[in-house]
């Protein structure tokens, strides 16, 4: 597969608009409370007939300090005693969920996310993994893809050794930017030495994949300063690098109000920063996977993309397309059978539900045939930059050009702009269209289309 990327500022200016990141389709906006515990239970029990492997996501919501750019659901506290009641409820939720799924279904993927998973103590980590192994079939000998988000400010060599011993074999490090002025402005003081020490320890302990998260668009960033951070990270040779775009939405996210908007780089500078990032990462041999993610060509994500088996879920890109994903912990999202579901977000309500001996699911969505069809299309485009009509027609029993006549007509403009090539057999996203992949996917999003139509009707 050709992985070339062309940065075209005019096209980016024309098409870049807010839109879903398609870690699911339908997206979380479509989740509703008519889908609750009973509906989830039904989906979970029915999924056992498939014998599909399982993927577990465990959410640890605590953070020691707040990063001002953060839009995650987290609880900021210095009080480490908060973890005990949370974990006690999480263990009970694991038991409730474990009872729904056949124990013979192996956990081929496991992820601890947050918040800050490394906020909990070494003993708590060990106990959490032990309880998980009691109710689910964890795989020995590195046969699973077991990953954790690591905050270098909360981690030392001992923690990394312990994580490896617990069975983790992939880790991702939050870095964002090495520049001290930027770190000060976003309240995330994390020295270069802290980060590099954790990366060295992860290598020593034999982690299979190390991923680094960076962010552009933060206060006081310039092309030169962020370029230095990117160069320093490249020199450490991580397997994957994600470069996220900071979206300043202080009306929506309270902590972002502490960021001085006057210090933010202008849209033109942000574009220049993005171009620099792409140039440096591709020159260093990284492949653009899609949607902010770059990987070494030998990394399993890049290989899965080449093999046509890449998948996208709530943790980003994944090599495991065939799993049911169980979300555990407050706010976590699952994808089981033909449904998506989400747990209660507030700790008090999450605790109350578990204390009643009930699952914490409070909303979700059951996929209709049209949702499954559109999800397959969006997944193919976002993971492989290509879509073959015949494969979709065979699987879903439709005539593509009839079912999607409106969408294909809309894609004609993108074709004229050089974003993609349309033929009678399929769609191929071209190098200038790859950075705009979500805009291409948005064409197939029925819910966005309906929203647009409703807005239009209201205006009239």
Report if residue 271 touches ligand SF4, rule: CB under 6 A: no
- The nearest distance, CB 129 to ligand SF4, in angstroms, is 21
Query: Cβ contacts of residue 460 below 8 Å, gap of 6+?
Result: none
Per-residue binding string, ligand SF4, 156-175, x by CB under 6 A, is: ------------------x-
Label residue 224 exposed, middle or buried (CB < 10 Å: 0-12, 13-18, 19+): exposed
Our CB check for ligand SF4 shows the closer of 61 and 364 to be 61
Rounded CA gap, 80 and 31, in Å?
33
- Find the binding residues for ligand SF4 in span 373-412 (CB under 6 A): none
446 Cα distance to chain centroid: 22
β-strands 293-295, 240-245 pairing: antiparallel
Tokens in use for 378?
């969006």
Our CB check for ligand SF4 shows the closer of 220 and 389 to be 220
Reported for 276-282, long-range contacts at CB under 8 A and 24+ positions apart, including other chains, are: 276/223, 276/226, 276/227, 276/230, 277/214, 277/216, 277/226, 277/227, 277/230, 277/243, 278/5, 278/7, 279/7, 280/227, 280/230, 280/231, 280/234, 281/230, 281/234, 281/241, 281/243, 282/5
Report if residue 299 touches ligand SF4, rule: CB under 6 A: no
* Segment interacting with ligand SF4 (CB under 6 A) among 5-13, 67-75, 134-142, 374-382: 67-75
- The nearest distance, CB 141 to ligand SF4, in angstroms, is 31
Tokens in use for 370?
């049209």
Rounded CA gap, 134 and 129, in Å?
9
Work out the number of other CB atoms within 10 angstroms of the CB of residue 266: 8
- Find the binding residues for ligand SF4 in span 172-211 (CB under 6 A): 174
Report if residue 345 touches ligand SF4, rule: CB under 6 A: no
- The nearest distance, CB 292 to ligand SF4, in angstroms, is 15
Give the residue from 233, 318, 242, 245 showing the smallest Cα distance to 284: 233
Residue 342 near residue 31 (C-beta atoms within 8 A): yes
- The nearest distance, CB 423 to ligand SF4, in angstroms, is 43
- The nearest distance, CB 174 to ligand SF4, in angstroms, is 6
- The nearest distance, CB 357 to ligand SF4, in angstroms, is 30
- The nearest distance, CB 71 to ligand SF4, in angstroms, is 8
Query: Cβ contacts of residue 405 below 8 Å, gap of 6+?
Result: none
Our CB check for ligand SF4 shows the closer of 67 and 201 to be 67
Per-residue binding string, ligand SF4, 125-154, x by CB under 6 A, is: --------------------------x---
Report if residue 72 touches ligand SF4, rule: CB under 6 A: yes
Our CB check for ligand SF4 shows the closer of 70 and 359 to be 70
Among 97, 108, 109, 116, binds ligand SF4 (CB under 6 A): 116
- The nearest distance, CB 153 to ligand SF4, in angstroms, is 8
Among 44, 58, 60, 70, binds ligand SF4 (CB under 6 A): 70
Q: What value does the CA radius of gyration of the chain take, rounded to a whole number of Å?
A: 22
Our CB check for ligand SF4 shows the closer of 7 and 350 to be 350
Strand partners, 214: 176, 243
Among 8, 43, 47, 74, binds ligand SF4 (CB under 6 A): 74
Among 20, 26, 115, 167, binds ligand SF4 (CB under 6 A): 115
- The nearest distance, CB 234 to ligand SF4, in angstroms, is 22
- The nearest distance, CB 149 to ligand SF4, in angstroms, is 8
* Segment interacting with ligand SF4 (CB under 6 A) among 64-72, 216-224, 345-353, 357-365: 64-72
Report if residue 63 touches ligand SF4, rule: CB under 6 A: yes
Q: Would you tell me which residues interact with ligand SF4 (CB under 6 A)?
A: 63, 66-67, 70, 72, 74, 114-116, 151, 174
């Amino acid at each position: 597969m050709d992985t070339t990327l062309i940065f075209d500022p005019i096209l980016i200016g024309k098409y870049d608009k807010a839109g879903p990141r398609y870690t699911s389709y339908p997206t979380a906006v479509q989740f509703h409370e008519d889908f609750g515990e009973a509906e989830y239970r039904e989906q979970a029990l029915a999924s056992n007939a498939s014998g599909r492997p399982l993927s577990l996501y465990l959410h640890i919501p605590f953070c020691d300090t707040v990063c001002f750019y953060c839009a995650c659901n987290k609880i900021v506290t210095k009080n480490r005693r908060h973890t005990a009641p949370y974990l006690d409820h999480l263990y009970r939720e694991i038991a409730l969920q474990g009872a729904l799924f056949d124990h013979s279904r192996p956990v081929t993927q496991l992820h601890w996310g947050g918040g800050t998973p490394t906020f909990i103590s070494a003993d708590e980590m060990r106990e959490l993994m032990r309880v998980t192994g009691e109710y689910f079939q964890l795989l020995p000998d590195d046969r699973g893809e077991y990953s954790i988000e690591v905050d270098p400010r909360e981690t030392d060599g001992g923690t990394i050794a312990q994580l490896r011993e617990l069975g983790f074999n992939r880790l991702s490090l939050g870095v964002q930017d090495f520049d001290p002025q930027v770190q000060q402005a976003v309240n995330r003081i994390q020295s270069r030495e802290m980060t590099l020490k954790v990366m060295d320890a992860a290598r020593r302990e034999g982690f299979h994949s190390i991923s680094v998260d960076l962010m552009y668009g933060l206060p006081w960033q310039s092309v030169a300063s962020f370029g230095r951070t990117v160069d320093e990270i490249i020199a450490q040779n991580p397997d994957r690098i994600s470069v996220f775009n900071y979206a300043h939405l202080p009306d929506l996210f309270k902590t972002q109000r502490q960021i001085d908007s006057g210090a933010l780089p202008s849209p033109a500078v942000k574009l220049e920063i993005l171009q620099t990032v792409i140039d440096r990462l591709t020159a260093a041999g990284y492949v653009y996977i899609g949607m902010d993610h770059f990987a070494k060509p030998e990394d399993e994500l890049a290989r899965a993309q080449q093999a046509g088996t890449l998948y996208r879920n709530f943790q980003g890109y994944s090599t495991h397309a065939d799993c049911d994903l169980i979300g555990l912990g407050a706010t976590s999202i699952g994808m089981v059978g033909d449904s998506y579901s989400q747990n209660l977000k507030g700790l008090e309500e999450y605790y109350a539900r578990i204390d009643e001996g009930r699952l914490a699911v409070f909303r979700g969505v059951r996929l209709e045939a049209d949702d499954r069809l559109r999800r397959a299309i969006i997944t193919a485009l976002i993971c492989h930059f290509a879509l073959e009509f015949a494969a979709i027609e065979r699987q879903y029993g439709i005539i593509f050009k009839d079912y999607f006549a409106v969408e294909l007509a809309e894609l004609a403009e993108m074709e004229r702009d050089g974003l993609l090539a349309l033929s009678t057999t399929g769609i191929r996203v071209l190098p200038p269209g790859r950075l705009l992949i979500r805009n291409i996917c948005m064409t197939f999003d029925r819910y966005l289309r309906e929203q647009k139509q409703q807005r239009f009707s209201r205006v009239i």
